[in-house]
Structures are given as C-alpha cells and as structure tokens.
Structure 1
C-alpha cells in the first residue's frame, strides 16, 4: 500500500511512531500499569472523542465567534457541554496524578493524544491548554491547600485558568511589568492591567483562576516579580476585582476570547517564593511550548487529511475522450501531498521524542535524568517554533492542493491558515526562541542538549544503515553539518550581536538536523518510509542555506 492509498490512520501512525521512539520502552517499564495495547486503545479513543465531541464546534467557533456583552464574554453554543464531556472522559487530567483527580499517565500520552483535540477545534481547546498548564504550575509551586483545592477542579473541568503576563507596555520584556501586589491586612491585593489573555472571561466554567505576574517590594526588572493565583470570584462567590475591558477582534481563533483584564485590589494567593515569579512560571511555560507544538501538529494533520481527500476526489486532466482522472494521480500533486505528509510526520515524531524525554527526566534518576532534561531544554524552542510553522505552512500547502476551492470558506483549510498564524507569536516569538536556543542552550548550557541530541542521532543512523545505507549516509552528512555550524556559533560567544543576527538561521539548521534524525525513524516505520526518504532528500540543501544565513555579516542588518 502506498502513502497515497493510506486511509489516514493517525492513531495507527502514533502507535507505530511511539514504538520507534527512543526511551519509549524504558518509559513503559517505569509505568507498570501501561502497555502497548492499552496505549493503542487510548490513542484510538482520543481520536474518536475529538471527532465526535470537539470537531462539531469548529465551524461555529469561527463563524459565530465570541461576544462581549454587559461586561461579560459570551462563547459559542455548545462549549460548556463539550468541555464537561472531555473533562468526564479524562482529557483534562491525562498526565495529572490520580490523587489530584487525573489519570497519572505519561506526558508522552498527552502529546500523542492531544493533537487530535487541538486539530478538531483549536479555538475551543485554548481553554483546556491553559488550564492543564496551570495545573502543572500549581502542583509545582503552590501550597498544599491551593493545590488540593484548585487542581482537582481544573481536571474536572469545573474551574478554568489563564496565564496573565503581558501588559500594554510589557510584552516579551516582562521586566517592565507594572501590575503591583501589596500585602494588606495579611492578604495580597493586586492592581493593574493585563492583555492578550485567552479565555480571560467566559461562562464555560464556574470559576477562573488567573496565574499572574505582579511586582512586589522594591525590586526592579524580573527580580521584583512574584507569581500569584487570582480567582475571578472569591470563595464566597463575590466578585474579586477582576473585570474585562474588551475582547480583541482577531485574524483567527475567533472562538477563543482574547481579553484585556483590569485588576482592582483583587485578592491573590502567592505561589512559591516572593520575587521568584518568573523562574517559577517556567513550570507552566514548558507545558505551553509543548502545547503550541501539539496545536500546530493537530491543525496540520487535519489540513493534510482535507488535501488528501480532495485530491482523491477531484477529477481533472487525462485523455479528453476518457473520464477525468483524480488529481492525486498527477505527479506534481503527488509531490505536494508527499511534502505535506512529511512535514506532519516529522513533527509528530519529534514531539513524541521530546515528550518521552520530559517523562524520563522526571522518572529516571541521576545522570540519565540529567541527559533527558538537557535534551528537553534544547528541543523545546525548536518544537514550539517549528510546530507553529508546520501548522501554518501545511494549511497553506493544503490550500494550494485545493486550488481556488481552498481559498473559499466552503473548505476548512482557509480557517486553519488563519487560526495557526498566531502560533509563531504567542508563548515567545520565533526570534525569542532562537535567542534562547543560541544563548542559553548552546552558550550557557555549554551545548549539553546538543551533545545529547548528537548521541541519539548517531544511534538512529546506525540503526538505519543495514536497512537503507544511502539515507543513513545522507542524514549523517546533514547532522555533521549542523555539528560544525554549532562549533562556529559557539566561537561567537564574545560577539553576541553578530551571533544574534544568525540565531534564527542557526535554529532552522538545528531543525534540519532533527528532521534528518526523524526522517530515519520514519524510514524504519511502516508505512511511513517513503515520506521519510522524500523529506531527507532536500535537507542537505536546506541546511547549507541556513548555515550560510547564520553567517550573515552584521553590517547588512545593523549598518549603523
């Protein structure tokens, strides 16, 4: 069976790729109640729930959107019922410990199943994503009373959560945050404004907890920031000084209300240590970056399904005296479909590799855990960035396959394009991720994550040699090129402005190297081998281009 005849069995692909993921068998051993048969059933059931409960919301989410009436946000019909249904199915707490209401499954299973939901209705799932990330944050830094009160409610879908960082004059530059928290009569009171808050207000859940950065004491910059949980309602049900100023009119994600919030002496709960807000927040940001990658994958996979189905059904060309042929028989269309499928499956394989390492970093001990943690830190900026780009680029490529039909609202791929454009912006823009990848992961960490990757890549190459020597050699050249480029970028540590000019190109070269490793994995995974070979074919030229861009002379971008 060729990939063009493949019935688009995404659960089957997930199960096959998990089997091939390094560390997966070790993770199964560390999770005694889990086996491959159970995993396959969970993945298949997740796809079914996403299609039956979440996907029907997507059209209304886009066309009806959200409304701001009398100071409150009104979401599309069906949101509350659907949110309760996915909560009851365990979707909101899949990887949360059972003593806090979850299923206690590995993060890897959330990463395997989550894209089905994200692709079904990405706007609706913005609430679920923020609430899951908040649960991780509270488990990491909140006191026992707050954890035991809030996390089970978030998992049950009764309460929701947001992440409140940005302000009108403080976006990525969080050191300029002005929102203040003052201790009054033994309680913290927060006053200020926050913007770009997804699901900052709604009626889907009974209560909303805002995970918020505010300034305490006399510290300046990020050192003066503390982390708080600020409920929209107090324990007695009274309003807590949180109000909505407006909701944004956006290009896409119309079914996700993006709110500007005002806090006026709102009572908050200090999370963790005062003045340590930003480093503590990374427990949530790590989850949000993985989520962004899963959002991109979910939408890309859905768009790919539409492109393949349309190409099989749409008939154009062939002999004029015969029945027109399906456009999927034309070589150029087949090339486009292969390129789409390759982007999707490379990303899926990379996300699974990352998520398994996130699990093992928590479950292994000592040196093994350190290796996984270094790899996770190194991979997250790329997963976030190229998960976002894959979602948008595949949606665009699907429009091209559909031609004029794809540009119309009759087909869902134009919505996918609009919905995914923001993924490369929130949770840290691509440029910010690139600077993190260069300055923290290469310079500050002395390339520990890079070393971990190279060791994994070498094992993947050796495992493929007997099966496909040519592909193994190609991947080895691509990854070797990136290793040499990394040495060059490391030598620029004393020239940070020069290095910054090439940071994004350097990270793109890193994704080429990761893609080469994942292409080998696809080659060893039926029926994905043709996709892996197709993607690998172009990577040598791509990494050479990015290596050249990484060496861009500073005076071209900074002539002053």
Structure 2
C-alpha cells in the first residue's frame, strides 16, 4: 500500500508496533499482559475518548485561557467534566498499581495510549501528566497512609497534583532552592517560600491539589539538605493551607494550562521519604515526566501530520491550465514534505514504545543482570526521547503549516496553535542542552557507556534480522550505528578534558538519535513486511534511512567542534 493512500489507522499501527517490539514478548512471558485483541481495543478506546471528550476543548481553551477570580484560578468551561470523564474511564491510571486504584497495566500501554490525549489537547493534559507522575512518586516514597489517601483520588480525577521545583533564582540549578521547611515541636512540617512555572498550580478542575515540592531542611549547600514534601492546597476541613496564587504567566502557547507562581506561607506539609534525600527521590517522577514529554511531541506530530495529509489530498493547485487542478499531494515537493513528517513521527512512535517496554522490564524482570541492562538502556535513551520527541512535535507542526501554506497560518486549522503549544517541550523537564550534558557526562563518562553497550547489542540483533528482508537497508543502518560507535569512543576519550567534550555534547546527542532512528527504521521494515496493519511503514523507514547518513555526519562534525572556536567567539 502506498504511503500516500494509507488511511493511517493509528490504533492499528500502535498495536502492531507494540507487538513488533522484542521486549513485549518477554514481558508477556514474565507477567500478565493483555493479548493483541485486548490491546487493540484499549488503544482504540483511548483514541475515541481523546477525540470525543478532550479534543473539543482545545480551541476553546486556547481562545479563552485561564484567569484569576477572588484569588483562585478559573479554567475553561468543560475542563472539570472532561477530567472526571477520563478518570472514570481509567485513563489517568492505566499503569498505576491496582492496589492504588489503577489498572496495573504496563507502562508501555500508557505510552501507547497517552499520545492520543496529548495530541488532542496538550494544555488540558498538563494536569493529567503531573498527577500521573505524582502517583508514581507517592507510590515510591510516601508512607502507606499518604499513598492510600492520595493515589486513588489522583487516579480517579477527584484530586490533582503539581511538581514544584523552580524558584525565581533556581531553575535547573536546583541547588539554589531557598524554599524552607521547618519541623515544629509537634513533629509537623511547615513550608515557606516561592515557586514558579507551576503547571496547574491552582485550578477549579479537582477538589484538592497536592504540591510535590522540594524545600531545604538542612544547613547543607547545593542539593544537600533538600527534602521532598507533599503540600495540600487545603487542609482536611477544607480551609486554605497557606498556598497563595501570585499570578498566571502570559505564555506563547498552552493557554489552557495555568502556569502559576505560588507563595507558600507556613503551609502544612507531609515529608515524603527520607529527610535530605529529596532530589534523588524526585527522579521517580522525573523519569515519567521525560517519557511524557516525548509522548506529548508524538501526539502533536501525529495530529499535525494527519492534518497536512488531509489538506494536501483536498487542496487543488497546479497542473495543466486547461484541466482541473491537481491535488497538491501530487506535487513532488509536497510529497517529500509529507513523507518527512510521517517518517519522523513513526520512528519516534517506535522509539517511545521501545522505551516503555524497557521501563517495564527494568521493574519486572526477575533476572537482576537483565533488569539492570534495561534500566541502563532507559537512562541512556531518555535524554534523546525527551529532546527529539519535543523537536518532532514542534518541527512537524511547522511542517504542517508549510504544507497548508496561508491556511496553515490561520487559526482555522489549529496547526499554528500546535506550533505554539509545543515550543516549550524542549525547555521544561530539562532543556535540550541539559539533556545533552546528561547523555555525555552521566551516560557515557560516569557510567562508561553501559546503556550504549546495551543499545549496540540490541541494534545489531535487529539489523541482522532485517538483512533477509532488505539487505540494503540493513547495511545502511549498520553503517550509521557503527559511525556512532566510533564517535562514542572519541567522546569517551575527552573525559579528562570535560569542557572540551561538553562543547560537542549537543552534536553527540544528535548523533545518538540518528543511530537509534536507524535501529527503529529496521524494525519498521521487518514489521511492515509481516503485519498487514503496518504495510506503509517500510517505505517510510527507507526514506528516513536515506537522510540519516548525512545527518549523522553533520552531528559528528558538531560533536567534534573545537573548544577554541567557542572561546574565540
């Protein structure tokens, strides 16, 4: 089937790609996972709910935004009802344990279903993302009473949660946090300070809001002495808990998500986990948030690509002047643009499912060595998924505007909103530069490339499996992965001169994504040759492989940027 005639049945593609992910079969061996028909039904249901319940609010939210009345945030009409509806449908707790009110499904299924909601209304879903991440955090570090009290209500949509890290003088540099928590004689904690950039920091969607907050409890400098707290916005009796909304930020996009500045004035708080271990404990949530960012980018990319395809098939321009104009999808330039958008989207989708499965196996694999390998791979791949998921969302929205031309620049088609909404994805949860430093300094230098080694073995196995299906594609992918392996050796040699290595960190991150994309391309080719639901994917994968060799060389050159060039500038 031609890529350009493919109706792009996304639930079927998701189901097929999940089945084609090697780790999924292993997961089925060691734990109960739904069969393919059940997965297909679940993914289809998620797509239907997202389209029927969440998507209609998107233009309304973008147009009306949020406002403060009598000291509280008022959200767009319909938010409260929609949030409870997706909670009642079980979509807020797919992967949360059944003992906490969730469905206990694999993280991979959340990664499969989540992008439908994220693409339908990114602003609205900011509340769901933070609350889901908070559920993971509370399950990992909260005491039993707090976990049993909060997680089921977060999963149902009755309560919501936020992540409160940034302050006026402390963004990514969390060691400069000044918010302080003081323990009283009665053993209770009270928090005072300012927090900014808090998505859904206040709202009228849920009955109660829990702020997962970092505060200083000791005298140590930097990240030492930071502890993690849960600060409810109201007390048990319903009285306000010293949490004051200072303002809602005026933003480029995500108008339907109130980004708040909050003041905490002697607010009662519950310590989560161990005092002084706040930052390490927070990573139980940050891992989920970075995967979420990739899913946000994917959701928007899928929707923007669909919009561009539909428009290109309907819009008629050009051709012989004495005949009916042809659909613009017939023009080679437009076809190339559409194929590039489709290729980035499907490669990202495959990578996200791979990551979700690996996260599940890291938690559920009984073999400790195998579980450690999965965890190392997840840590290695997450900076790339976060960064290039964000870029795919923004760039694909931009590509859709280009295909639509003047129509794309208007609000009618919503792709201009998608562009605005996705610009922040490369900023929050760690900027792209921070992801690049993590990828180089932690994953390559500090861990001696442990995740890289796992990647190379897995990529080699699937490239080999691709040879009987498409030897030319397998050889192209092998060359790209080998080039990245050589570059990794060069970057590893710079460990003793870290500033020189850091000058090329972003190029190295880009090179890593090229290599991972080449691996995913071989998966699309093999899966598409065997699964009728995926027959359009091999052509997409071959198109992507054609451009990856050049992108890899460009990234390698950027990674080898001499530090002197930066210093002389």
The TM-score range, normalised by the shorter chain, is over 0.9
**Alignment correspondent of 1:82:** 82
**Alignment correspondent of 1:412:** 414
Secondary structure in 2 aligned to 1:256?
Answer: coil
Secondary structure in 2 aligned to 1:223?
Answer: coil
Secondary structure in 1 aligned to 2:2?
Answer: coil
Secondary structure in 1 aligned to 2:239?
Answer: coil
Write the deviation string for residues 327-370 of structure 1: whole angstroms up to 9, x where unpaired. Answer: 00111111111000001000000000000000000010211101
1:154 aligns with 2:154: yes
Q: Please state how far the C-alpha of 1:527 moved relative to its aligned partner.
A: 2.2
Secondary structure in 1 aligned to 2:372?
Answer: helix
Q: Please state how far the C-alpha of 1:42 moved relative to its aligned partner.
A: 0.5
8 A Cα contact 2:15 2:39, kept in partner: yes
Unaligned runs of 5+ in 2: 529-534
**Alignment correspondent of 2:489:** 487
**Alignment correspondent of 2:455:** 453
1:345 aligns with 2:346: yes
**Alignment correspondent of 1:537:** 546
Tell me the distance in 2 between the aligned counterparts of 1:149 and 1:477. Answer: 53
1:356 aligns with 2:357: yes
Q: What does 1:220-231 align with in structure 2 at a 5 Å threshold?
A: 220-231=221-232
Write the deviation string for residues 506-549 of structure 1: whole angstroms up to 9, x where unpaired. Answer: 00000000000011111122221100000000111111111011
**Alignment correspondent of 2:561:** 552
Secondary structure in 1 aligned to 2:482?
Answer: helix
Q: What does 1:244-393 align with in structure 2 at a 5 Å threshold?
A: 244-365=245-366, 366-393=368-395
Q: Please state how far the C-alpha of 1:33 moved relative to its aligned partner.
A: 5.0
Q: Please state how far the C-alpha of 1:187 moved relative to its aligned partner.
A: 0.5
Q: Please state how far the C-alpha of 1:410 moved relative to its aligned partner.
A: 1.5
Q: Please state how far the C-alpha of 1:99 moved relative to its aligned partner.
A: 1.2
Q: 2:500 aligns with which of 487, 498, 505?
A: 498
Secondary structure in 2 aligned to 1:23?
Answer: helix
8 A Cα contact 2:33 2:106, kept in partner: no
Write the deviation string for residues 42-94 of structure 1: whole angstroms up to 9, x where unpaired. Answer: 01111011000000010011011111222111100000000000000000000
Tell me the distance in 2 between the aligned counterparts of 1:393 and 1:502. Answer: 23
**Alignment correspondent of 2:55:** 55
Tell me the distance in 2 between the aligned counterparts of 1:445 and 1:155. Answer: 35
Tell me the distance in 2 between the aligned counterparts of 1:558 and 1:171. Answer: 26
Q: Please state how far the C-alpha of 1:32 moved relative to its aligned partner.
A: 2.5
Write the deviation string for residues 142-173 of structure 1: whole angstroms up to 9, x where unpaired. Answer: 00000000000100100000000000000010
**Alignment correspondent of 2:24:** 24
Q: 2:473 aligns with which of 467, 471, 474?
A: 471
Secondary structure in 2 aligned to 1:410?
Answer: coil
Q: 1:431 aligns with which of 419, 430, 433?
A: 433
Scaled by the length of structure 2, the TM-score of the pair is 0.98
Tell me the distance in 1 between the aligned counterparts of 2:313 and 2:28. Answer: 39
8 A Cα contact 2:33 2:105, kept in partner: no
Tell me the distance in 2 between the aligned counterparts of 1:159 and 1:517. Answer: 41
Q: Please state how far the C-alpha of 1:199 moved relative to its aligned partner.
A: 0.1
1:208 aligns with 2:209: yes
Tell me the distance in 1 between the aligned counterparts of 2:353 and 2:195. Answer: 34
Secondary structure in 2 aligned to 1:320?
Answer: coil
8 A Cα contact 2:191 2:268, kept in partner: yes
Unaligned runs of 5+ in 1: none
Runs of 4+ in 1 over 4 A off after TM superposition: none
**Alignment correspondent of 2:532:** none
Tell me the distance in 2 between the aligned counterparts of 1:219 and 1:144. Answer: 29
1:235 aligns with 2:261: no
Secondary structure in 2 aligned to 1:203?
Answer: coil
8 A Cα contact 2:27 2:33, kept in partner: no
Tell me the distance in 2 between the aligned counterparts of 1:389 and 1:22. Answer: 26
Tell me the distance in 2 between the aligned counterparts of 1:383 and 1:311. Answer: 29
Tell me the distance in 1 between the aligned counterparts of 2:33 and 2:454. Answer: 29
Write the deviation string for residues 414-435 of structure 1: whole angstroms up to 9, x where unpaired. Answer: 0000000000000000000000
Tell me the distance in 1 between the aligned counterparts of 2:73 and 2:291. Answer: 28
Secondary structure in 2 aligned to 1:441?
Answer: helix
Tell me the distance in 2 between the aligned counterparts of 1:482 and 1:413. Answer: 34
RMSD: 0.8
Q: 1:516 aligns with which of 515, 518, 521?
A: 518
Q: What does 1:191-206 align with in structure 2 at a 5 Å threshold?
A: 191-206=192-207
Tell me the distance in 1 between the aligned counterparts of 2:109 and 2:325. Answer: 44
Tell me the distance in 2 between the aligned counterparts of 1:30 and 1:556. Answer: 52
Tell me the distance in 1 between the aligned counterparts of 2:424 and 2:230. Answer: 26
Scaled by the length of structure 1, the TM-score of the pair is 0.99
Q: Please state how far the C-alpha of 1:24 moved relative to its aligned partner.
A: 0.8
Q: What does 1:57-72 align with in structure 2 at a 5 Å threshold?
A: 57-72=57-72
8 A Cα contact 2:401 2:416, kept in partner: yes
Q: Please state how far the C-alpha of 1:302 moved relative to its aligned partner.
A: 0.3
Tell me the distance in 1 between the aligned counterparts of 2:218 and 2:497. Answer: 36
Tell me the distance in 2 between the aligned counterparts of 1:55 and 1:557. Answer: 45
1:172 aligns with 2:172: yes
